């Protein structure tokens, strides 16, 4: 273990004010503009970012923020020591990893409460990429500290968490904080143009929609049985393998399939009033407690229905897409490279055969929506671009995915309003209830 790296445990924060002292101590080495003063500064200012959650997605997001040339990572936090240590190993040639030129080891923190050292510091913004079960608590703390936030989807794993996000989001809006959510398709030039055309009536009256995130099984090479030497506690084990535990991931319909569910909501300009469907856990029984397949129907207030499938089973043919069919044409996408998703709008196919007329297909330069998302964030923080506040739609699309999950779990018709009022909460299962690993 790196003795110079700070370790913040829940016990340390609960027993004394040491947690607050640690949170403020990392500010000593920073030369920054106060977070509340950042918007409106010169466009060549540097946004100083505290990064929470040092896994693969977080590494990519941190890299893209630094790639803008307008942001640098100056403090980091993670549940595990080994992830912090990994940051200080030499970069491999060509690796898409943040340079971390502004990071000192004394500003690296470890433990379940390490995020408090980030939100309690003088960083301008916080990058949140932990397992989503922790997201509501972290977001609430960041907003209370008046930090700008870039956070990955989903924003919560349960209804209770969505309420926390919503309340904190309203506070962020009132303070004019920048909030960007990792539903990247909103930053795609192709998707945004399709949205404009749909709103202008390009596909006519919407008849139905469909979305899917069907893939093979996940992380097969990263699975391991509980090992006290590597993961001393059961929580350590579950956080390390967080994707397979619904209190941490929300199940894969929430963690992954939210992208496609969100696109349908966005293009339709509304959220469903109810959902029904089914799913089960037939193949992936070696770890965790999440399903491996879902098959759902969402109903919207105007009578439109949207079917959705999401599968994670080895050898199953992949299918990642969104489709909306209308009386004059259709919006379709596929899982394409470089961010466009091959998003297009086609007219109605002639009755006597032939190709459907192409109304729109993106033909511009590479449409890398992850890059555009990162740039939009730093520009918004610096006051050099459009102000971004993605919390509301991020939370509502998160809740849409939760609505579908609960409909499948219960095999019942679940009403949006009823589930919202219930404020259900997921927690780590008692050991006697843990699914067979």
Going along the chain from its start, the domains and CATH numbers come out as 6-185 (3.40.50.720), 188-363 (3.30.360.10)
Give the pTM.
0.90
**In 3D, which of 215, 409, 408, 245 has the Cα closest to residue 312?**
215
Q: Is the peptide bond before 154 cis (omega within 30 degrees of 0)?
A: yes
Give the DSSP letter string of 256-293: TTHHHHHHHHHHHTS--SEEEEEEE-SS--SSSS--SE
Give strand ranges (E) for 132-273.
148-151, 179-181, 206-215
pLDDT score at 176 = 98
pLDDT score at 166 = 98
pLDDT score at 386 = 95
Q: What is the DSSP letter of 427?
A: -
pLDDT score at 153 = 98
pLDDT score at 433 = 46
For residue 274, what are the β-bridge partners?
299, 415
129: exposed, middle or buried (Cβ count in 10 Å: 0-12, 13-18, 19+) = buried
């407690």: which residue's tokens? 289
Tens digit of each residue's pLDDT, the chain (437 residues): 343 456 554 444 334 333 433 443 333 333 334 444 454 444 458 999 999 999 999 999 999 999 999 999 999 999 999 999 999 988 788 788 999 987 999 999 999 999 999 999 999 999 999 999 999 999 999 999 999 999 999 999 999 999 999 999 999 999 999 999 999 999 999 999 999 999 999 999 999 999 999 999 999 999 999 999 999 999 999 999 999 999 999 999 999 999 999 999 999 999 999 999 999 999 999 999 999 999 999 999 999 999 999 999 999 988 999 999 999 999 999 875 445 678 999 999 888 888 899 999 998 888 899 999 999 999 999 999 999 999 999 999 999 999 999 999 999 999 999 999 999 999 998 864 444 33
For residue 425, what are the β-bridge partners?
none
Rounded to the nearest 5 percent, the helix, strand and coil shares of the chain are 40, 20, 40
**In 3D, which of 61, 151, 54, 46 has the Cα closest to residue 101?**
46
Q: What is the DSSP letter of 191?
A: H
Give the DSSP letter string of 318-334: PEEEEEEEESSEEEE--
Cβ 395 vs Cβ 169: under 8 Å:
yes
What are the tokens at 19? 């947690």
Based on its alpha-carbon atoms, the radius of gyration of the chain, rounded to whole angstroms, reads 22
């Amino acid at each position: 273990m790196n003795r110079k790296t700070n370790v913040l445990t829940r016990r340390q924060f609960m027993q004394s004010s040491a947690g607050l002292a640690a949170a403020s101590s990392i500010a000593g080495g920073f030369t920054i503009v106060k977070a509340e003063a950042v918007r409106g500064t010169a466009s060549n200012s540097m946004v100083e970012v505290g990064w929470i959650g040092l896994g693969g997605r977080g590494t990519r997001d941190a890299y893209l923020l630094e790639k803008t040339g307008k942001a640098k990572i100056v403090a980091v936090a993670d549940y595990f020591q080994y992830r912090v240590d990994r940051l200080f190993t030499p970069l491999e040639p060509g690796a898409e990893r943040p340079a971390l030129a502004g990071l000192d080891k004394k500003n690296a923190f470890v433990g379940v409460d390490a995020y408090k050292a980030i939100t309690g510091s003088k960083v301008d913004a916080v990058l949140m990429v932990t397992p989503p079960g922790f997201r509501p608590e972290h977001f609430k703390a960041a907003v209370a500290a008046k930090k700008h936030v870039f956070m990955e989807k989903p924003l919560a794993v349960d209804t209770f968490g969505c309420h926390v996000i919503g309340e904190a989001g309203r506070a962020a809006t009132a303070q004019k904080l920048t909030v960007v959510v990792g539903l990247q398709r909103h930053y795609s030039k192709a998707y945004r143009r399709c949205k404009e055309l749909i709103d202008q009536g390009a596909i006519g009256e919407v008849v139905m929609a469909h979305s899917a995130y069907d893939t093979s099984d996940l992380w097969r090479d990263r699975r391991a049985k509980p090992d006290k030497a590597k993961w001393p506690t059961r929580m350590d084990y579950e956080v390390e393998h967080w994707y397979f535990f619904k209190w941490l991931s929300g199940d894969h319909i929430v963690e992954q399939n939210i992208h496609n569910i969100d696109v349908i909501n966005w293009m339709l300009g509304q959220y469903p009033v109810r959902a029904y469907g089914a799913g089960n856990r037939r193949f992936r029984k070696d770890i965790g407690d999440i399903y491996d397949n879902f098959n759902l129907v969402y109903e919207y207030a105007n009578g439109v229905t949207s079917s959705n499938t999401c599968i994670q089973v080895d050898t199953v043919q992949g299918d990642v897409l969104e489709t909306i069919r209308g009386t004059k044409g259709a919006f379709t996408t596929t899982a394409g490279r470089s961010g466009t998703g091959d998003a297009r709008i086609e007219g109605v196919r002639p009755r006597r055969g032939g190709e459907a007329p192409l109304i729109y297909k993106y033909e511009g330069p590479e449409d890398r929506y992850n890059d555009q998302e990162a740039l939009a964030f730093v520009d918004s923080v610096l006051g050099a671009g459009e102000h971004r506040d993605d919390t509301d739609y991020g939370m509502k699309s998160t809740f849409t995915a939760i609505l579908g999950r609960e409909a499948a779990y219960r095999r019942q018709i679940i009403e949006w309003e009823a589930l919202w009022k219930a404020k259900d909460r997921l927690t780590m299962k008692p050991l006697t209830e843990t699914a067979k690993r």
